[in-house]
Structure 1
Amino acid sequence: MKLLTFAIPCYNSQDYMENCIKSLLPGGDDVEILIIDDGSKDSTGDIADAYEKKYPGIIRAIHQVNGGHGEAVNAGIRNATGLYFKVVDSDDWVDEEAYKKILDKLRELTGGNQTLDMFIANYVYEKEGAHHKKVMHYTNLPQNQIFTWNDVSRFRKGQYILMHSVIYRTKLLRECGLELPKHTFYVDNIYVYKPLPSVKTLYYMDVDFYRYFIGREDQSVNEKVMISRIDQQINVNKIMVDEFDLWKIPNRKLRHYMFNYLEIITVISTIMLIRSGTEENLLKKRELWKYIKDHDIRLFHHLRAGIMGNAMNLPGKGGRKISVAAYRLSQKVVGFN
């Protein structure tokens, strides 16, 4: 069995995927790299096949009919043979020095008497044109030890465990029934959110591992692109609302964190609907909040009472201006482009 499986979802990624693949190769025989060609129409599949031929036993090319980012991740989970699992998007890469430290630690932990569910490391916003690279640290987490949710200090606003920072135990992802929706962007939020109640043990290493590229005009987190795909963002938001009765999450600290996570996703949905400026999307905003209210009125009031949630629902044009100002602040905190 491999120590760590990497899944690289690829769709028309010929121009940048090799940088991603090459950054993962230093893992050698400890890792497997699954290049998932999600029905690409360029040379992505050929590049994947060439790497599989050059690195047999390490790289596998998986070709499938286009199902979107989520279905590519699903294919990765289905085919993984590694004890641990990580998604690396095809335009991102990892830092070699941090990578080797993480592999050494995972190897050490697998020989211990505790099962590790989630490994966390820092990620860096590689924002095109930015001189200062924003690094997302987790100063509220114990370092260099296995810990539980009870040992976690409060997450501040804008501090989230994203797909970029997390390595999951592969079996946990399968046992919790994670299945991401097809043809839907922004499913990385579901990918992190759904397994959380199954996570009992965590480990945090303060190294800048994942390099998250931001800057392409066609990138899913580009604001114009997000607005054009707002129905997919809303779908993800609703799936997260439906997934759990958060009031029944037994661990208080985990429950608080999951409320915060759901709040920021709802804020992003709401502000994108506002920023689009169309009556149709303002109606969708009201419908989203009604959906939450109808699903769980207690959750509705909890999200509305939050600082961000409250700012998103101020009435009229003046209220919408304040909402946009709140979003600009959240941009600086969270790093969306």
Structure 2
Amino acid sequence: MEKLLTVSVAAYNGAATLQKALESCLVADESLQALLDVIIIDDGSTDGTAALAQAFVQAHPGSFRLVSKVNGGYGSTLNTAVELASGRYFRTLDCDDWFDTNALQTLLRRLQSCTADAVYTNYRTVQENGSGKAFDVCCKFDTNRVYAVGEVQQATPDLCMEMHALTLCTKTLRAAWRPMPEHCSYTDMGYTFVGMAAAQTICFVPVVLYQYRLGRDGQSVSMASYRAHTQDYIRVARILLDAAEPLAAQPAPAGRDLLLVQRARDVAQYLIELYLRFPPDRETGLALRRYDEMLCQTYPHIAAMMTNKNTRLLRAGRYLPYRTLSAWARGKQSNGGIL
């Protein structure tokens, strides 16, 4: 039987949370369950991850499979999953997150007749205390239509490009795939960018599918992790920037080109905001300056599009306002402000 959806579950020492993630891939409709291809990629775990995954494979051999490999980081799990995927569509699920199972069943029904290259669903962030926030990325669109990417960009210039919202056509993704770097954080940004750079059409399924856990120690989106893995962030950002700078150099980029340029700009600009939220010291200030100067020299067209207030003030003041802006940004962060 042809599989409809491959779910790539990257798992490194995830025994504490993996069961919930895998259970969320079990839908009530057995005919739809048979169309699921869940690849659990054990990325060199040293805990009980592989044994837990194998138990699911044995219980549901038609839907789950386990791939055990030497540790290579998240990018390597994406490389493996894209190569091995048997589903017509592809999406990811981190081993500490989960799906709303009813929403997954709805998505599977929609995918049966879907022709779009990219399929959007809503997602929800969930804090450790159980509180959450839903992100509706489908609200502006007719959910019975398939849109050209250019139409979508005109309707919402800030279209979400997070992995939590995206399901991609496997054939389209695989044809455009470039291997993600190993032992490198934030490669999910490269994965979604490559997928959307290849997509010609988009549709929207208005269910809150992905449940994204936040607030756990050690997460790559924690401020401590961002600071420890800044060079990883720059490495992945440059994948986006290398592809987007020639598009930004066009006289008037539009449609999908503009969508990709805006995504690369936002990823580049986000790191400046992160630098301002790190504890201020001379080394951080110099790193921020070197980073922005690299952007201006190597990606001048995208750098010129980075016009938020903090970036403008830093450049106008030759980075001398760094400590003042850092104090303001960290104060906003401690008061619940977001980037």
> Given the two structures, how large is their TM-score scaled by the length of structure 1?
0.88
Partner of 1:112: none
1:263–1:309: 8 Å Cα contact kept in structure 2?
no
Q: What SS does the aligned partner of 1:3 have?
A: strand
Question: What is the letter of the counterpart of residue 121 of structure 1?
Answer: T
Q: Is the 8 A contact 1:123 1:211 kept in 2?
A: yes
Give distance in 1, aligned partners of 2:208 and 2:12.
26
Q: Give yes or no for contact 1:86–1:166 (8 Å, CA) kept in 2.
A: yes
Q: Which residue of 2 aligns with 1:23?
A: 24
Deviation of 1:120 (Å): 0.4
Which one of the candidate residues 272, 282, 286 is aligned to 1:283?
A: 286
1:201 and 2:222 correspond: no
Whole-Å separation in 1 of the counterparts to 2:334 and 2:151: 32
> What's the RMSD between the two structures over aligned residues?
2.4
The amino acid that maps onto 1:97 is: N
User: Which amino acid in structure 2 is aligned with residue 173 of structure 1?
Assistant: L
1:74 aligns with 2:82: no
Equivalent-residue separation in structure 1 for 2:36 and 2:93 (angstroms) = 13
Distance 1:251 1:117 in 2: 21
2:303 corresponds to which residue? 300
Cα 1:228/1:297, change in 2 over 3 Å? same
How does the TM-score come out when normalised to structure 2? 0.88
Aligned AA (2:297)? D
C-alpha change, 1:253 and 1:142, in structure 2 (3 Å) is: farther
Query: Which residue in the other structure is 1:89 paired with?
Result: 94
Deviates most, 211-220 or 129-138: 129-138
* Matched residue SS, 1:66: coil
CA positional deviation for 1:229: 1.5
Cα distance change, pair 71–330 in 1 and its aligned pair in 2 (3 A)? farther
Deviates more, 1:208-217 or 1:123-132: 123-132
Shift of 1:254: 2.6
Partner of 1:319: 325
- 2: CA distance between counterparts of 1:198 and 1:156? 18
How far apart are the structure 2 equivalents of 1:218 and 1:73?
A: 20
Match of 1:247 in 2: 248
* Alignment CA distance shift 1:252-1:322 (3 Å): farther
5+ residue gaps, structure 1, are 110-114
Q: Secondary structure at the match of 2:326?
A: helix
* Contact 1:270 1:312 (C-alpha < 8 Å) held by counterparts: no
Residue 320 (structure 1) shift: 3.0
Secondary structure of the equivalent of 1:133?
strand
Secondary structure of 1:181's aligned partner: coil
Within a 5 Å distance, the mapping from 1:21-60 to structure 2 comes to: 21-26=22-27, 27-60=32-65
CA distances 1:241-260 after superposition (whole Å, capped 9, x unpaired): 11232226786133333233
Call closer, same or farther: CA 1:34–1:311 in 2, change over 3 Å. Answer: farther
Q: Name the residue aligned to 2:265.
A: 263
**Structure 1 segment 106-255 matched on structure 2, within 5 A:** 106-109=111-114, 115-129=115-129, 131-152=131-152, 153-155=154-156, 160-244=160-244, 245-247=246-248, 252-255=254-257
Output one character per residue of 1:123-170: Cα deviation in whole Å (capped at 9) or x when no partner. 00112226452334333333221111232244366x522100000011
**After superposition, what is the alpha-carbon deviation per residue over 1:195-245, rounded to whole angstroms, capped at 9, x for unaligned?**
223111110111111111111111111111211221211211222211232
Q: 1:267 to 1:299 in 2, by over 3 A?
A: closer
Contact 2:248–2:261 (CA under 8 A) maintained in structure 1: no
Structure 2: give runs of 5+ residues left out of the alignment. Answer: none
Aligned residues: 326
Q: Distance in 2 between matches of 1:154 and 1:327?
A: 31
Q: CA deviation at 1:16?
A: 0.4
Q: Equivalents in 2 of 1:40, 1:143: separation in Å?
A: 40
Q: 1:263/1:310 Cα in 2 relative to 1: closer, same or farther (>3 Å)?
A: farther
Question: Quick one: percent identity of the two aligned structures?
Answer: 23
CA separation of 1:203/1:327 partners in 2, compared to 1, >3 Å: closer, same or farther? Answer: farther
- Which amino acid is the alignment partner of residue 126 of structure 1? V
| C-alpha contact 2:9 2:39 (8 A) present in aligned 1 | yes
> Quick one: distance in 1 between partners of 2:289 and 2:12?
34
- From the superposition, tell whether residues 80 and 329 of structure 1 become closer, same or farther in structure 2 (CA, over 3 Å): farther
